């Protein structure tokens, strides 16, 4: 176990465990640091008078550490322009290295991305989803990448959105699930209107497109195993935008949740033999309480109550609430959006990105939601809503309840924009989790977290026999009056990816009592608690 | 909540039109009708700021706030409406919905029960109470209320969904799964209908699209819409190949089994439509008492198509009718392998046992089938026969009554 390099930690431990709601006498909780960090990216949607539906859906981005220097880098996807890779510098700024890396998307109509070391060579690779063939960039380990899509066989030609990685069959190599949205090409474009005013079409104007599960053959190639694994659905009922692998039932294997736009969501239970059972209906996770198929966008899952069970959160359309599917155990979920205090505040906004993060390190995972309408003339269709919307922050009060703290989270939370993908990660390694937000046809936002310093512990997991990124590993940290379980995930939110490292806020605690790791191949490990907190640990799978 | 909430709030909100005659209220109502709840709210708040407004102003403010998801404010406004002297089922229902959405279940129940007492057949209030019952694990009450909603509004998908969840939670897994499958199918078809309606609206819509549009209308119970879509398709493709299955089903549902047979026989010869066509052909032929051709239709469906419980069940029943009880029992085993929760296998076994005078065995299987699917009158018809054979007239009468009740319910909610 090693301490990873970090910058600007210098933490002051505060006593007292009161909830750190942001107050006016403190610096803003978050500030937009994109400009200061030289993260100069502006998404270009390619908006046209034709109003092609894809123009309003992009895009995603995320945090990765492509050169293993212990600092997060950023990859941002563009729809009508080049994708960009920014290298994280020691001083908290970024340098555009796209040209050298060779990862600009080659003129594709970009949507989203996810990152994983699919060949276990120690360097994280980049997968880009597009309207049209997707791209897999293999990390050469020298700051450059090679497009290996054709060889790997993962160039899904449909309109892909989210892509998420997991080793669903425990063979030590990461497999890939790719969400596809609609059967659309420019040739299929339909003109939609509202009272003769052109608008972007609703998804019902097009057929859904089938998703694909790619099984990793362990030789740099993949095989479409969608049907064999039992995750093939009627493609017309599948208009997928968000997905997440998570161990729903604590049985050690990766289950799959998929958020669909206007059609019921999917939940596939991993049967442990390389196949899945569709438990969408009986689990209660396909529909919200009203039984209406909502417009599922982004998705995240987290242990919100120390139970070790991951609860699923899905963002939805305007005049639908976002949905918190509470994991009751036994493969059953119930819609607890109202009880959690997440229903009312989400009713009017249109949610896309979703991230659970402990922004104030009090030991409970809070919630960030990126909002923005899909119609640039939204008030025309519904005067009670707007195109540009504020993002939202919710503080976890414990016992499954949240309180919206958007109004006191800083001026950047008062700014209205057209939020899409979002990702969480501590880009400056100061122990406070930051946020990256993509805006449609707008500038990227880097929300730098300035919360009061509290104890925390970060972990980077490295697989040896399991996949190198330890995607799917489950870590439980225990301390006085504290237990929290997290998973390593590659791909979540809306077409985006958060930091692969795990982050545990610990409040005023000065030590942890236990760290238990369940590796994706099933091996269990007790990690000796560190003598001091406020650092990132490197935890390596034992041989 | 979501769309259903908007609808509920608006229905309740507009149930009693503003009777103050104030121009401001009328302007606000017009905004609400245009879905401009934020604009309506502004007008209403201006109205409220002028002197001492009527309770109806606060009430409408509460409705707008509910639709905008601002439940705490809505609750306060609705309470002010009450304090200003307004009362009635609309207000109590709105208060119940606001409290429900704030998670204040006990007081939500109070308000909703009061609203229901004044309007016992209000489906919105019944639905919310059913959901409350479900949340509080009062599954018997939830089931009763939700079935009531469905009797009042057969197409209420929210009630169908909640009923499925309730049945599963109450241990009636098989029926719950079927209800949820039905709900998912309806949900899919509703979305699909939008796609097809748009595609069919154009002058260049191909016959195949129009035929699928018709099929979807038909499955959603819109027979007139289906017939119109088929007519357009046949205008483009006079052979009627694309519409023969739909036309056959339409004829079957209309009770014209001979016409159904003609259309379905054509459809059964067409790739892509053959499987469903053979099933319906078999059903039509059964209605025509032509059991041998019906059996052949089902047998060909069983041989060439993905195996379906409905096909096996019909085959088993035909085998029983011609005395082939051993084969019927084999088919029951096949049904059970296909769907262990299906009551059909138990039904077939019960009938076979009845024929073989194993009355206790028949009773046991039939009771289990009735437990698995409490909504099917056929199991009670069978139980009536079994108890009749046993000389238990009281039980026979009880199941006769239950059968009649369920048949009546099906007439209301087919």
Dump pLDDT digits (tens) for A352-391.
Answer: 999 999 999 999 999 999 999 999 999 888 888 899 999 9
Render pLDDT for B303-320 as a digit per residue (tens, 0 to 9). Answer: 888 888 889 999 999 999
Residues of chain A found within 8 Å of residue B188, distances taken between Cβ atoms: 234, 236-237, 263-264
A234 touches chain B (CB under 8 A): yes
Distance CA B300, CA A140 (A): 58
Would you state the pLDDT for residue A16? 29
A319: nearest CA in chain B?
A: B2
Determine how many CB atoms are found less than 10 A away from the CB of residue B254. Answer: 12
**Average pLDDT rounded to a whole number, residues A268-294:** 94
Distance CA A185, CA A53 (A): 10
Distance CA B205, CA B212 (A): 11
Would you state the pLDDT for residue A20? 41
Would you state the pLDDT for residue B411? 54
To the nearest whole Å, the CA of B12 is away from the closest chain A CA by 17
To the nearest whole Å, the CA of B90 is away from the closest chain A CA by 21
The three-class DSSP label of residue A222 is strand
Closest to A494 measured CA to CA, from A187, A243, A278, A282: A243
Render pLDDT for A202-233 as a digit per residue (tens, 0 to 9). Answer: 999 999 999 999 999 999 999 999 999 999 98
Task: Give Cα separations from B349 to B9, B310, B315, B342, B369 (angstroms).
Answer: 50, 16, 13, 12, 10
Residues of chain B found within 8 Å of residue A288, distances taken between Cβ atoms: 1-2
- Tell me if B187 and A282 make a contact (CB, 8 A cut-off): no
- Tell me if A205 and B195 make a contact (CB, 8 A cut-off): yes
Partners of A146 in beta bridges: A138
Residues of chain A found within 8 Å of residue B164, distances taken between Cβ atoms: 281
User: Does pLDDT of B52 surpass 80?
Assistant: no
Answer for the pair A148, A118: CB distance below 8 angstroms, yes or no. no
Closest to A507 measured CA to CA, from A539, A479, A476, A537: A479
Q: Which residues, in sequence order, are CB contacts of B120 under 8 Å at separation 6+?
A: none
A194 touches chain B (CB under 8 A): no
Residues of chain B found within 8 Å of residue A347, distances taken between Cβ atoms: 1, 68-69
Band the pLDDT of B408: cuts 50, 70, 90: confident
**DSSP letter, residue A40:** -
- Tell me if A206 and B4 make a contact (CB, 8 A cut-off): no
Beta strands in A144-238 (DSSP E): 145-147, 160-166, 175-180, 192-194, 197-199, 212-216, 222-224
ipTM of the complex: 0.82
Which of B1, B173, B194 shows the shortest C-beta gap to A290? B1
Token digits for A170? 């425990």
Residues of chain A found within 8 Å of residue B70, distances taken between Cβ atoms: 344
To the nearest whole Å, the CA of A287 is away from the closest chain B CA by 9
Residues of chain B found within 8 Å of residue A289, distances taken between Cβ atoms: 1, 131, 162
Distance CA A445, CA A31 (A): 9
In a 10 Å sphere around its CB, with 0-12 CB exposed, 13-18 middle and 19+ buried, how is residue A307 labelled? middle
Determine how many CB atoms are found less than 10 A away from the CB of residue A200. Answer: 20
Between A4 and B227, name the one with better pLDDT.
B227
A336: nearest CA in chain B?
A: B103
- Tell me if A384 and B72 make a contact (CB, 8 A cut-off): no
To the nearest whole Å, the CA of B390 is away from the closest chain A CA by 39
Distance CA A115, CA A64 (A): 7
Which of B6, B35, B102 shows the shortest C-beta gap to A383? B35
End-to-end CA distance of chain B: 26
To the nearest whole Å, the CA of A285 is away from the closest chain B CA by 11
- Contacts of residues B244-248 at CB distance under 8 Å and 24 or more positions apart, as own/partner, are B244/B270, B244/B273, B244/B277, B245/B215, B245/B270, B245/B273, B245/B276, B245/B277, B245/B280, B246/B211, B246/B214, B246/B215, B246/B218, B248/B277, B248/B280, B248/B281, B248/B284
Distance CA A247, CA A364 (A): 19
- Tell me if A204 and B161 make a contact (CB, 8 A cut-off): no
Distance CA B251, CA B259 (A): 6
Would you state the pLDDT for residue B75? 96
Band the pLDDT of B249: cuts 50, 70, 90: very high
Percent of chain A, pLDDT > 70?
95
The count of CB pairs under 8 A between chains A and B is 116
Residues of chain A found within 8 Å of residue B183, distances taken between Cβ atoms: 287, 291
To the nearest whole Å, the CA of A318 is away from the closest chain B CA by 9
Would you state the pLDDT for residue A8? 34
Render pLDDT for A401-432 as a digit per residue (tens, 0 to 9). Answer: 999 999 999 999 999 999 999 999 999 999 99
**Average pLDDT rounded to a whole number, residues B24-43:** 87
To the nearest whole Å, the CA of A330 is away from the closest chain B CA by 12
- Tell me if A291 and B6 make a contact (CB, 8 A cut-off): no
Determine how many CB atoms are found less than 10 A away from the CB of residue A13. Answer: 14
**Average pLDDT rounded to a whole number, residues B130-139:** 95
In a 10 Å sphere around its CB, with 0-12 CB exposed, 13-18 middle and 19+ buried, how is residue B129 labelled? buried
To the nearest whole Å, the CA of B328 is away from the closest chain A CA by 30
Band the pLDDT of A12: cuts 50, 70, 90: very low
B161: nearest CA in chain A?
A: A291
- Tell me if A264 and B188 make a contact (CB, 8 A cut-off): yes
**DSSP letter, residue A246:** E
Answer for the pair B25, B18: CB distance below 8 angstroms, yes or no. yes
Give the A window 301-360 contacts with B, CB below 8 Å: 316, 319-321, 337-339, 341, 343-348
Render pLDDT for A441-461 as a digit per residue (tens, 0 to 9). Answer: 999 999 999 999 999 999 999
Answer for the pair A466, A216: CB distance below 8 angstroms, yes or no. no
Residues of chain B found within 8 Å of residue A237, distances taken between Cβ atoms: 188, 191
Residues of chain A found within 8 Å of residue B72, distances taken between Cβ atoms: 344
Percent of chain B, pLDDT > 70?
93
Band the pLDDT of A15: cuts 50, 70, 90: very low
Answer for the pair A393, A404: CB distance below 8 angstroms, yes or no. yes
Closest to A112 measured CA to CA, from A438, A416, A502, A357: A438
**Average pLDDT rounded to a whole number, residues B56-79:** 92
To the nearest whole Å, the CA of A293 is away from the closest chain B CA by 7
**Average pLDDT rounded to a whole number, residues A306-319:** 96
A205: nearest CA in chain B?
A: B195
To the nearest whole Å, the CA of A346 is away from the closest chain B CA by 8
Answer for the pair A368, A392: CB distance below 8 angstroms, yes or no. yes
Residues of chain A found within 8 Å of residue B101, distances taken between Cβ atoms: 338, 343-344
Q: Which residues, in sequence order, are CB contacts of B317 under 8 Å at separation 6+?
A: B328, B348, B351
Region of poorest pLDDT, from A78-87, B134-143, B174-183: B174-183
Which of A205, A339, A384 shows the shortest C-beta gap to B36? A384
Render pLDDT for A107-161 as a digit per residue (tens, 0 to 9). Answer: 999 999 999 999 999 999 999 999 999 999 999 999 999 999 999 999 999 999 9
**Average pLDDT rounded to a whole number, residues B52-65:** 90
Would you state the pLDDT for residue A9? 32
Band the pLDDT of B296: cuts 50, 70, 90: very high
Determine how many CB atoms are found less than 10 A away from the CB of residue A528. Answer: 9
Give the A window 369-428 contacts with B, CB below 8 Å: 382-384
A524 touches chain B (CB under 8 A): no
Would you state the pLDDT for residue A26? 75
A289 touches chain B (CB under 8 A): yes
Render pLDDT for A163-176 as a digit per residue (tens, 0 to 9). Answer: 999 999 999 999 99
User: Does pLDDT of B263 surpass 80?
Assistant: yes
User: Does pLDDT of B173 surpass 90?
Assistant: no
Q: Which residue is associated with the tokens 């050298």? A: A100
Would you state the pLDDT for residue B61? 95
Closest to A244 measured CA to CA, from A283, A280, A298, A284: A298
Between A48 and B411, name the one with better pLDDT.
A48
Answer for the pair A513, A529: CB distance below 8 angstroms, yes or no. yes
Distance CA B142, CA A97 (A): 60
Half-sphere exposure of A29 (CA within 13 A, CB side): 23
**Average pLDDT rounded to a whole number, residues B384-404:** 94
Q: Which of A205, A265, A290 to mutate to test the interface with B (most CBs of B within 10 A)?
A: A290
- The mean predicted confidence, pLDDT, of chain B is 89
A292: nearest CA in chain B?
A: B158
Partners of A215 in beta bridges: A223
Strand A474-479 with A514-518, pairing: antiparallel
User: Does pLDDT of A2 surpass 70?
Assistant: no
Would you state the pLDDT for residue B372? 80
Render pLDDT for A464-493 as a digit per residue (tens, 0 to 9). Answer: 999 999 999 999 999 999 999 999 999 999
- Tell me if B69 and A320 make a contact (CB, 8 A cut-off): no
**DSSP letter, residue A309:** P
- Tell me if A204 and B198 make a contact (CB, 8 A cut-off): yes
User: Does pLDDT of A21 surpass 60?
Assistant: no
Region of poorest pLDDT, from A91-95, A535-539, B338-342: B338-342
Which of B69, B160, B181 shows the shortest C-beta gap to A291? B160
Residues of chain A found within 8 Å of residue B1, distances taken between Cβ atoms: 288-290, 321, 337-338, 343, 347
A206 touches chain B (CB under 8 A): yes
Distance CA B341, CA B178 (A): 10
């Amino acid at each position: 176990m090693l301490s990873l390099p970090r910058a600007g930690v210098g933490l002051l431990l505060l006593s007292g465990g009161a909830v750190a709601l942001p107050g006016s006498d403190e610096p803003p909780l978050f500030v937009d640091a994109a400009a200061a960090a030289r993260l100069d990216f502006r998404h270009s949607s390619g908006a046209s008078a034709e109003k092609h539906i894809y123009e309003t859906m992009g895009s995603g981005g995320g945090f990765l550490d492509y050169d293993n220097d212990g600092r997060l880098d950023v990859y941002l996807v563009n729809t009508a322009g080049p994708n960009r890779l920014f290298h994280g510098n020691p001083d908290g700024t970024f340098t555009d290295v796209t040209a050298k890396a060779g990862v600009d998307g080659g003129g594709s109509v970009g949507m989203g991305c996810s990152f994983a070391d699919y060949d276990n060579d120690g360097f994280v690779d980049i997968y880009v989803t597009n309207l049209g063939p997707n791209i897999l960039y293999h990390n050469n380990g020298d700051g450059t990448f090679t497009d290996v899509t054709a060889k790997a066989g993962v160039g899904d030609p449909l309109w892909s959105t989210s892509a998420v990685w997991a080793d669903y069959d425990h063979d030590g190599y990461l497999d890939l699930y790719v969400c596809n949205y609609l059967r659309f090409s420019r040739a299929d474009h339909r003109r939609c209107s509202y009272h003769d005013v052109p608008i972007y079409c609703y998804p019902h104007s097009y057929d859904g497109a089938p998703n694909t599960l790619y099984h990793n053959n362990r030789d740099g190639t993949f095989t479409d195993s969608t049907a064999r694994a039992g995750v093939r659905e009627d493609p017309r009922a599948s208009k997928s935008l968000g997905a997440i692998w998570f161990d729903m039932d604590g049985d050690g294997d990766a289950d799959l949740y998929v958020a669909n736009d206007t059609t019921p969501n999917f939940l596939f239970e991993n049967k442990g033999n390389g196949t899945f059972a569709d438990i969408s209906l009986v689990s209660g996770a396909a529909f919200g309480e009203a039984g209406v198929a909502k417009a599922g966008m982004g998705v995240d899952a987290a242990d919100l109550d120390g139970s070790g069970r991951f609860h699923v959160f899905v963002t939805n359309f305007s005049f639908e609430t976002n949905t918190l599917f509470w994991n009751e155990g036994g493969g059953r979920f119930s819609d607890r959006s109202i009880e959690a205090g997440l229903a009312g505040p989400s009713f009017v906004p249109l949610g896309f990105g979703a991230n659970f993060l402990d922004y104030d390190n009090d030991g409970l995972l809070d919630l960030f939601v990126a909002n923005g309408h899909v119609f640039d003339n939204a008030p025309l269709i519904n005067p009670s809503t707007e195109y540009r919307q504020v993002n939202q922050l919710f503080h976890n009060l414990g016992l499954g309840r949240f309180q919206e703290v958007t109004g006191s989270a800083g001026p950047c939370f008062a700014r209205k924009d057209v939020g899409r993908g979002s990702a969480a990660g501590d880009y400056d390694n100061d122990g406070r989790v930051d946020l990256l937000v993509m805006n449609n046809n707008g500038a990227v936002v880097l929300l730098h977290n300035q919360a009061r310093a509290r104890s925390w512990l970060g972990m980077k997991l490295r697989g040896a026999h399991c996949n190198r990124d330890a995607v799917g590993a489950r870590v439980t940290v225990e301390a006085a009056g504290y237990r929290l379980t997290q998973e390593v995930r590659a791909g979540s939110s809306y077409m985006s990816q958060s930091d692969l490292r795990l982050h545990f806020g610990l409040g005023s605690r000065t030590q942890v009592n236990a760290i238990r790791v369940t590796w994706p191949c099933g091996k269990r490990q007790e990690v000796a608690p560190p003598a001091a907190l406020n650092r990132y640990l490197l935890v390596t799978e034992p041989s | 909540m979501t769309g259903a909430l908007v609808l509920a709030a608006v229905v309740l909100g507009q149930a009693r039109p503003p009777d103050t005659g104030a121009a401001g209220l009328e302007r606000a109502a017009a905004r609400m009708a245009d879905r401009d709840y934020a604009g309506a709210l502004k007008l209403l708040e201006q109205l409220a700021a002028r002197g001492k407004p009527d309770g109806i102003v606060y009430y409408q403010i509460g409705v707008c706030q509910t639709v905008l998801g601002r439940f705490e404010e809505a609750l306060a406004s609705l309470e002010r409406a009450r304090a200003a002297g307004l009362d009635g089922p609309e207000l109590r229902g709105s208060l119940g919905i606001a409290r429900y959405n704030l998670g204040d279940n006990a007081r939500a129940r109070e308000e909703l029960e009061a609203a229901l007492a004044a309007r016992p057949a209000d489906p919105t209030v019944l639905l919310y109470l059913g959901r409350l019952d479900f949340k509080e694990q009062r599954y018997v009450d939830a089931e009763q209320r939700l079935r009531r909603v469905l009797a009042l509004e057969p197409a209420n998908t929210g009630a169908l969904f909640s009923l499925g969840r309730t049945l599963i939670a109450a241990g009636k897994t098989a029926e719950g799964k079927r209800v949820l499958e039905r709900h998912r199918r309806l949900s899919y078809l509703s979305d699909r209908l939008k796609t097809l309606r748009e595609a069919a609206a154009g002058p260049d819509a191909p016959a195949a699209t129009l035929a699928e549009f018709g099929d979807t209308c038909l499955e959603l119970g819109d027979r007139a819409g289906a017939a119109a879509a088929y007519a357009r398709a046949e205008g483009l493709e006079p052979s009627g190949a694309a519409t023969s299955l739909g036309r056959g089903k339409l004829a079957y549902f209309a009770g014209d089994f001979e016409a159904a047979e003609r259309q379905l026989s054509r459809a059964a010869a067409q790739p892509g439509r053959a499987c469903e066509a053979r099933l319906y052909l078999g059903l039509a032929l059964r209605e025509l008492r032509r059991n041998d051709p019906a059996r052949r239709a089902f047998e060909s469906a069983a041989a060439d198509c993905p195996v379906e419980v409905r096909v096996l069940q019909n085959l088993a029943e035909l085998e029983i009718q011609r005395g082939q009880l051993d084969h019927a029992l084999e088919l029951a085993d096949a049904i059970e392998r296909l769907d262990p929760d299906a009551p059909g296998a138990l039904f077939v076994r019960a009938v076979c046992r009845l024929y073989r005078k194993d009355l206790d065995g028949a009773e046991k299987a039939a009771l289990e089938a009735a437990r698995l699917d409490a909504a099917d009158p056929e199991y009670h018809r069978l139980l009536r026969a079994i108890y009749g054979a046993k000389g238990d007239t009281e039980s026979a009468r009880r199941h006769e009554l239950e059968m009649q009740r369920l048949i009546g319910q099906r007439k209301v909610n087919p």
